[in-house]
Amino acid sequence: SFASFMLGSFQGGALAEGTKGEQVSYRNVLKMEPVGVQLPVQELAHSSKVLENKSFEKRLQFADLSQRPPEVKKKSKQLTAAKTYTIAELNQLSNQQLVDLLVTIDWEQITGLFQFNKDSLAFYQNDSRMQAIIDKLKQQGQA
C-alpha cells in the first residue's frame, strides 16, 4: 500500500516534469456552444405554432388546458357558508346527517366547538357518533 503510494507519486512527478517544456493551451477547445444556449426559432414555437414573442393572451388561446385540475365547485360552499351550527344542533342530527353536513362546512361554522359544556360533553362522549366521523374521514381520505 505504502509502496504503491510512493510509486504513484513518483509517476505523477515524472509526468509533470515531462510536460513542463510543452505549454498546452486549452483555449478555443470548445468550438460550438453547449446544447440549449442557442435554439432555432422553430424550437421556440409551441405545438400550436404560436411563437414565444406573441402576446400571452394569444398563446393562452392555443394552450393545452387539459393538464389543469378540474375547477372546484364553490357554489355549494357559498350556500352553506352563511349558516352556523351549534354543538346542540349537531347533537340533534343522526350520525349519517352529521357526517354529510360535516363534509360540506368549515370548522369555523360550528360555534362552541372548543368550549366545554354539557352539549359538547354529550357530543364527544357518543362513541357511535365519533366512530361515524372517523369512518367518514377514512372514506374521504381513500377517495
> Which one, of 90, 135, 130, 85, lies nearest residue 106 by Cα?
85
Distance separating alpha carbons of residues 116 and 125, to the nearest angstrom: 12
Domain assignment present for residue 26? The answer is no
Range of the domain at 133: 75-142
Q: What is the pLDDT along the chain (143 residues), one digit of tens a residue?
A: 555 555 555 555 555 555 555 666 666 565 566 666 655 555 555 555 555 556 666 666 665 556 666 666 665 555 544 689 999 999 999 999 999 999 999 989 999 888 999 999 999 999 999 999 999 999 988 87
Alpha helices in 19-70 (DSSP H): 41-44, 56-61
State the total domains in the chain. 2
Q: Is 130 helix (H, G, I), strand (E, B) or coil?
A: helix
Domain assignment present for residue 8? The answer is no
Domain assignment present for residue 34? The answer is no
One-letter amino acid of 137? L
- Same domain? For 108 and 82 the reply is yes
